[in-house]
Structure 1
Amino acid sequence: MMKGFLNRDRFLEILNKRNHWDIVVIGGGATGLGIALDSASRGYKTLLLEQNDFSKGTSSRSTKLIHGGIRYLAQGNIKLVYEALKERGFLLKNAPHLVKRQKFVIPIFSWNMGIFYWTGLKIYEWLAGSLSFGPSKFLSKNEMIKTFPEIKPDNLKGGILYYDGQFDDSRLAINIAQTCVQKKGILLNYFQVKNLIKIKGKTSGVIACDLETKKNYSIYSKTVINATGVFSDFILKMDEFTWPILIKPSQGTHIVLNKSFFSSSNAIVIPKTSDGRILFSVPWYDHVLVGTTDTFLDKCILDPKPLEQEIDFILHTFEKYFLYTPKKNNILSAFSGLRPLFVPRTYSSSAAAKDISRSHKLMISPSGLITIIGGKWTTYRKMAEDTVNKAIKIGKLNKVFSKTKDLKIYGSISSWKNHNLHWKKYGEDEFHIQNIIEENPLLGENFISKKPYYCTNAEVIWMVRYEMARTIEDVLARRTRLLFLNAKVAIDIAPRVAALMAKELSLDQEWEKKQIDTFKKLAMQYYYPIA
């Protein structure tokens, strides 16, 4: 196995030989992966278990922003904004192949609001300090129309341009996992924790099942960390302890449109929608991503569906500001993610999800189980650092300070200079994929007939061999982003992906058929008009 590459068989060999760990992390989203990386980079024996695929849940369904959060600034949460702006700077430095500076513009329709936003953005810029992405500036009405040809000019006074960050969330998750492996951490997807091991009342490990082989493992650890986000209560119930905090899921929905509806390379921010939120319209992989919503749900589900009222809200808000009005049949993909918000069990049911803090919270049960909830992608590294610091105390580990502020994420080699949008997301791994193509030029052919989409056979083979892709969904949703960009095209090429994967994994046609059927059923949740 090449250093830093994900190889499930190799990881299982190590698990079978080693039964005692310093830290076991449950959950393979941004938070869990960040914790595993922080832990492994300090030299602790680290194991991460994810019951599905890495970043399957909320962590692949974000608005693709690395930002301080101008909305949180308006709410007066200076501490969260300051922390996030620092982390934004670290991410740009450590993962430049996936994180980039992005221009954002707030349209101004009254001078009073213009002064308010200008003042706020100057504070935002000041809080970033030496890690600022660039100075904000005022745009005239004519500059706004030139920058955004589709914007409605009625009552428009001008705009304020500022800088924030954009990224590919699930690609960063894979690269964090690879960085963890470079530091001798072990990660396993499709590995479900069934119960906690208790010794004299203390959490001392987990009982887990390899969902592919159905083999059960008793895994002992000095510390166990619950980083399962909206599903944290499932693990807490295994601990037989009820917290006074309720983990309440809030759904955020996005739609993806053809860039003909929004041709600018700059993002636009609608600062105050009818429900008091912010709506973003952001260029992303030659498309435009519009969202998000903030809707409380009664229960957590692995594959949340966009609600019709959420789709209607996004389209209606978009229509108020732009000349060309998309209809539901113009939506190429629609997806939802669940935010794990923590509220008192006595919270008011009338409280709005947008008003609940996005700060993270660490909880320690009497058994020593550590649970981390809340937070956001931008602050994943700081959340991980705080969690591992707590794990050192709980597990009585030798104290080692965090090393991740300056730790380069896998893929971000200093000599890498390729700016091709398609290949950039692979960072240094582009060279390895090109080697596969050199060995067999036929594997370099694009097998997607519809432009501008592009994927070679070699990429799928790479994702199976070295990124632990186990299903069609793993490839088309998270290793590539096709399901999030155009669900119909993803459905069309699923059989080709299944055939490539089956050959690579030595699986039969029955597996192929089942995979295709399962993926099509899932992908129809992203596809409009809904059948």
Structure 2
Amino acid sequence: MNHQSREQQLSNIRGTKDLWDVVVIGGGATGLGVALDASSRGLKTLLIERFDFTKGTSSRSTKLVHGGVRYLRQGQVSLVLEALKERGLLKKNAPHLVRPLRFVLPAFKWWERYFYTIGLKLYDLLARRLSFGKSVMLSKQEVSQAVSTLESSKLRGGVLYYDGQMDDARLGLALAKTAFREGATVLNYCEAIDFAYDEQGQVNQVTFKDHLASSHETQEYTIDTRSVVNATGVFVDELRLLEDQKQKPLIKPSQGAHLILPKSFLPGNSGIIFPETADGRVLFAIPWFDRALVGTTDHFKEKPESEPVPLESELQEILTLLKEHLRPAPENSDVLSVFAGLRPLVVPDRQQNSATISREHTVIFGQSGICHVTGGKWTTYRKMAEDVLEALSHRGFIPSSACQTEKLKLVGWQIEVDNIDHISIYGAERQQVNELSQTLSDGQEKLHPRLPYIQAEVIYAVRNEWAVTVEDVLSRRTRALLLDAQASIECAPLVAKLMAKELNHTQTWIDEQIVHYQKLAQAYLWPNS
């Protein structure tokens, strides 16, 4: 892939007055999926994201690609069918980022083992030829062998089944790279700030601001477009209200908190699913990058935030359940990192609990012709994008054409046999990372003793992955912030220095980046620790 920097892509925009077919606002899973679908159909496509790619919800998920066992229990069979199909396609199109993961569903009553087995056999059946593996009923001894830290005094057996696991931020980056490969222009740190309309009141221009431009550089760009897609996730209503301030909000944000523990609390290669907590949620504990990731909660938030912070009460909910079921029981001091994400839930009834609301997506058009898409989940991003393009075509904004993404391999495509680790997520690009590590004097040196990442990965992220801040590198190009927040704070000065040399930044920039990152990362430590 012939990589172009942000500056090169912006220069291309300055040098042309062409009409764009699709302008996508929002660089999360949905927006990136729309940009890829559009560009792979041969449409002239621009994506702009006011922060970094997957800065919001799309890098703060439970890292699962799944059909949704809970949705099956709620009777949402069509949603499960769609998600299981998309799960299978994701594994085919990005095997370096999506892997099957074994889950143990423990039973604590004699009848639960049979009840869960019936449900999961239906789950297997719905997956059909795209199944990740067959579910199996387990004895008490077999459950203990699979998850040795599970408290067994009340255990009656369980069920083993398979779902998918991924690295969400890296998957988003793969979508951005693939969209670029297919001809799209993809820009982080660019924000849509204004629209212009034709005589019929339909949007035909977008003005956006480059947040990284200096005072002597072009800061604002105005482009002509046939269509605009609002894929801003939990912020979807901000843009909708620009069209009509009388519109009722489309979504209600729901916050999900997670915590990261040392791998010793979940040895082996199996995750655990606790099917029903006190408030009706499902709680997952999964192995991820030599750690144990546990989540999630489900609580409504009044307003969306770009940096949601998990409440201590949410984290205590998770820890209380773990103390009941794991031996040894984890304590606050064992937690390496905490994080929260906001889900954009379409709420038909304000009285509903967020844990019971469907994650199905919604595509609607505003009065000025802007296409708004929201809801859904990571697993179904591709289908959401396809629905958006079909809706644009049906409305006459773009010519009708066939979707290409069902069999479109993402950048880095490479069949992997081992578990996801910090090098395997590069897939076919790992050779470039390895070669770079050998050409740099300290390229193979670790960023921190408690983290797997090396200095070459920082330089690679700057040169090939549009990373422009320390946060970009430590939070989303690597996952250092999530794996060990304190360790990421301690290596931030080194990362800032490496990036400054590569990007020709000053010591002032280094100092500002360190302060910004360390302030941000404090929110990923256990509260008041």
> TM-score normalised to the size of structure 1?
0.96
1:419 offset after TM fit, Å?
7.0
Structure 1 residues 50-75: Cα deviation after superposition (integer angstroms, max 9, x where no partner): 00000000000000000000000000
User: Separation in 2 of the partners of 1:419 and 1:299?
Assistant: 37
1:432 offset after TM fit, Å?
1.3
Match of 2:521 in 1: 523
1:91 aligns with 2:90: yes
Tell me, yes or no, if the aligned pair for 2:100 and 2:163 is still in contact at 8 Å.
yes
Tell me, yes or no, if the aligned pair for 1:476 and 1:483 is still in contact at 8 Å.
yes
Structure 1 residues 353-386: Cα deviation after superposition (integer angstroms, max 9, x where no partner): 0111100000111211100010000000000000
1:358 aligns with 2:359: yes
Quick one: structure 1 residues 317 and 360, their matched pair in 2 at CA, closer, same or farther if it must change by over 3 Å? same
User: Separation in 1 of the partners of 2:373 and 2:149?
Assistant: 43
1:247 aligns with 2:251: yes
Tell me, yes or no, if the aligned pair for 2:206 and 2:223 is still in contact at 8 Å.
yes
Match of 2:497 in 1: 499
Match of 2:512 in 1: 514
Tell me, yes or no, if the aligned pair for 1:245 and 1:342 is still in contact at 8 Å.
no
1:243 offset after TM fit, Å?
3.7
Quick one: structure 1 residues 112 and 409, their matched pair in 2 at CA, closer, same or farther if it must change by over 3 Å? same
Match of 2:105 in 1: 106
1:245 offset after TM fit, Å?
4.9
3-state secondary structure, aligned to 1:442: coil
Structure 1 residues 162-184: Cα deviation after superposition (integer angstroms, max 9, x where no partner): 00000000001111110001101
Match of 1:446 in 2: 446
Tell me, yes or no, if the aligned pair for 1:329 and 1:529 is still in contact at 8 Å.
no
1:206 aligns with 2:210: no
Match of 1:161 in 2: 160
Match of 1:133 in 2: 132
User: Separation in 2 of the partners of 1:359 and 1:273?
Assistant: 23
User: Separation in 1 of the partners of 2:414 and 2:457?
Assistant: 20
Give the letter for the 2:439 counterpart.
E
3-state secondary structure, aligned to 2:423: helix
Match of 2:45 in 1: 46
Match of 1:326 in 2: 330
3-state secondary structure, aligned to 2:204: strand
Tell me, yes or no, if the aligned pair for 2:99 and 2:419 is still in contact at 8 Å.
no
Match of 2:479 in 1: 481
Match of 2:378 in 1: 377
1:457 offset after TM fit, Å?
1.8
Moved more, 246-255 or 21-30: 246-255
1:231 offset after TM fit, Å?
0.3
User: Separation in 1 of the partners of 2:103 and 2:419?
Assistant: 21
3-state secondary structure, aligned to 2:347: strand
Tell me, yes or no, if the aligned pair for 2:445 and 2:455 is still in contact at 8 Å.
yes
Structure 1 residues 274-318: Cα deviation after superposition (integer angstroms, max 9, x where no partner): 111100000000000000000101111100000111011000111
User: Separation in 1 of the partners of 2:326 and 2:282?
Assistant: 16
1:529 offset after TM fit, Å?
5.0
Match of 2:55 in 1: 56
Match of 1:259 in 2: 263
3-state secondary structure, aligned to 2:221: strand
Give the letter for the 1:510 counterpart.
T
Quick one: structure 1 residues 89 and 80, their matched pair in 2 at CA, closer, same or farther if it must change by over 3 Å? same
Structure 1 residues 58-99: Cα deviation after superposition (integer angstroms, max 9, x where no partner): 000000000000000000000110000000000001100010
Match of 1:402 in 2: 403
Tell me, yes or no, if the aligned pair for 2:446 and 2:455 is still in contact at 8 Å.
yes
Give the letter for the 1:396 counterpart.
F
Tell me, yes or no, if the aligned pair for 1:328 and 1:529 is still in contact at 8 Å.
no
Tell me, yes or no, if the aligned pair for 2:414 and 2:428 is still in contact at 8 Å.
yes
Moved more, 239-248 or 260-269: 239-248
Tell me, yes or no, if the aligned pair for 1:334 and 1:527 is still in contact at 8 Å.
yes
3-state secondary structure, aligned to 2:339: strand
Tell me, yes or no, if the aligned pair for 1:197 and 1:220 is still in contact at 8 Å.
no
Match of 1:181 in 2: 180
Percent sequence identity over aligned pairs: 45
Structure 2 spans left out of the alignment, 5+ residues: none
Match of 1:34 in 2: 33
User: Separation in 1 of the partners of 2:116 and 2:419?
Assistant: 33
Match of 1:269 in 2: 273
Tell me, yes or no, if the aligned pair for 2:27 and 2:52 is still in contact at 8 Å.
yes
Moved more, 22-31 or 144-153: 144-153
1:260 offset after TM fit, Å?
1.5
User: Separation in 2 of the partners of 1:373 and 1:160?
Assistant: 34
User: Separation in 1 of the partners of 2:79 and 2:417?
Assistant: 33
Tell me, yes or no, if the aligned pair for 1:254 and 1:291 is still in contact at 8 Å.
yes
1:435 aligns with 2:431: no
- 2:458 aligned residue (450, 457, 460): 460
Quick one: structure 1 residues 418 and 293, their matched pair in 2 at CA, closer, same or farther if it must change by over 3 Å? closer
> TM-score normalised to the size of structure 2?
0.96
- 1:219 aligned residue (223, 226, 230): 223
Structure 1 spans left out of the alignment, 5+ residues: none
Tell me, yes or no, if the aligned pair for 1:224 and 1:369 is still in contact at 8 Å.
yes
Structure 1 residues 481-505: Cα deviation after superposition (integer angstroms, max 9, x where no partner): 0101100000000000000011111
1:417 offset after TM fit, Å?
7.3
User: Separation in 2 of the partners of 1:85 and 1:14?
Assistant: 40
Tell me, yes or no, if the aligned pair for 1:6 and 1:178 is still in contact at 8 Å.
no
Quick one: structure 1 residues 90 and 158, their matched pair in 2 at CA, closer, same or farther if it must change by over 3 Å? same
Match of 2:65 in 1: 66
User: Separation in 2 of the partners of 1:256 and 1:443?
Assistant: 28
Tell me, yes or no, if the aligned pair for 2:95 and 2:414 is still in contact at 8 Å.
no
1:332 offset after TM fit, Å?
0.3
Give the letter for the 2:35 counterpart.
A
Tell me, yes or no, if the aligned pair for 1:27 and 1:50 is still in contact at 8 Å.
yes
RMSD: 1.5
1:131 offset after TM fit, Å?
0.4
User: Separation in 2 of the partners of 1:255 and 1:353?
Assistant: 20
Tell me, yes or no, if the aligned pair for 1:236 and 1:242 is still in contact at 8 Å.
no
User: Separation in 2 of the partners of 1:485 and 1:463?
Assistant: 18
3-state secondary structure, aligned to 2:456: helix
Match of 1:8 in 2: 6
Give the letter for the 2:448 counterpart.
I
Give the letter for the 2:413 counterpart.
S
Tell me, yes or no, if the aligned pair for 1:196 and 1:207 is still in contact at 8 Å.
yes
